[in-house]
Amino acid sequence: IEKRIKVGDAVKISNEWGMIETVGIISTKIRLWSGEILTLPNSTVLDSPIYNYSRSIARRVDIKIGISYSSNIDKAIETIKTALWNNELVLAEPEPVVIVDTLAESSVDLKILFWVPAQEFWTVRRVVIRDIKKALESVGIEIPFPQRDVWFRSPIEVKLVKSEENKK
């Protein structure tokens, strides 16, 4: 009745992601991104939040990338912005944003936010991640992996002192 979904819509319903195959009187069938068909009773569909990605004109992409502590943050941000501007499907409005998000254990984490046409979300996201990695490598910005420094002390000499009772 509300027409929140229709055949062909890309949706997330009840923590399941896929494309609407059929909407029947009793149930709704979703082709999951993995290929299986999930049949949900319409009572579940009606009681669940529905994220309909087909109704949006644009979607925001959120990516988190860590750079090493020894890397130049300003250079990394400028390099990432250039990579975004070089992709014609990254929208100019709202303007892409790159911020320092977290000082993590092994990296300085940058959050990258930009908008793309909704139909191109997954394709552009995948391409942009690849392009950002290549761009950062080309200017010598390291994307680190988790690391731990382990310090070893010299062994402590332990002397056993026997008490009078132990001597007996």
* Amino acid letter, 151: W
69-86 per-position pLDDT tens digit: 999 999 999 999 999 999
100-129 per-position pLDDT tens digit: 999 998 899 999 999 999 889 999 999 999
Predicted local confidence at residue 111, as pLDDT = 98
The answer to whether the CB of 114 falls within 8 A of the CB of 89 is no
46-57 per-position pLDDT tens digit: 889 998 888 788
> What value does the CA radius of gyration of the chain take, rounded to a whole number of Å?
27
Instruction: Using alpha carbons, list the distances in angstroms from residue 5 to 2, 26, 59, 163.
Output: 8, 15, 18, 83
Residue 138, classed as helix, strand or coil, is helix
Predicted local confidence at residue 2, as pLDDT = 66
Residue 146, classed as helix, strand or coil, is coil
Predicted local confidence at residue 64, as pLDDT = 97
In angstroms, how far is CA 52 from the centroid of its own chain?
Answer: 19
Predicted local confidence at residue 165, as pLDDT = 57
Say how far apart CA 37 and CA 50 lie, in whole Å.
17
